[in-house]
Amino acid sequence: MKKTAIVLAVLLVVGIAVAAYAGATKLTLTARQGNVGETGFVVVNDANAQKTIFQFQMRGGTPGTKYWGYYYLIPGDTWILLGEFKMNNSGSGHLHATVTSCLNRPYWVGVSNFDPAAPGMTISNQVMSDILS
In the chain, the percentage of residues whose pLDDT exceeds 70 is 75
Question: What CATH number has the domain bearing residue 58?
Answer: 2.60.40.200
Is residue 45 a part of any domain in this protein?
yes
Mean pLDDT of 121-126: 72
The separation between the first and the last C-alpha atoms of the chain, rounded to the nearest angstrom, is 48
**Helix H or strand E encompassing 6:** helix 2-20
Task: Print burial letters for 42-68: b (CB count within 10 Å at least 16), e (below 16).
Answer: bbbbbeeeeebbbbbbbebbeeeeebb
Is residue 7 a part of any domain in this protein?
no
> How far apart are the C-alpha atoms of 91 and 103, rounded to whole Å?
30
Domain with 92 in it: 24-132
**Helix H or strand E encompassing 1:** none
Q: How many domains does the chain divide into?
A: 1
Is residue 3 a part of any domain in this protein?
no
> How far apart are the C-alpha atoms of 45 and 36, rounded to whole Å?
27
Is residue 48 a part of any domain in this protein?
yes
Is residue 114 a part of any domain in this protein?
yes
The whole-model pTM stands at 0.76
pLDDT in tens, 30-66: 887 666 678 999 999 988 888 999 999 999 998 998 9
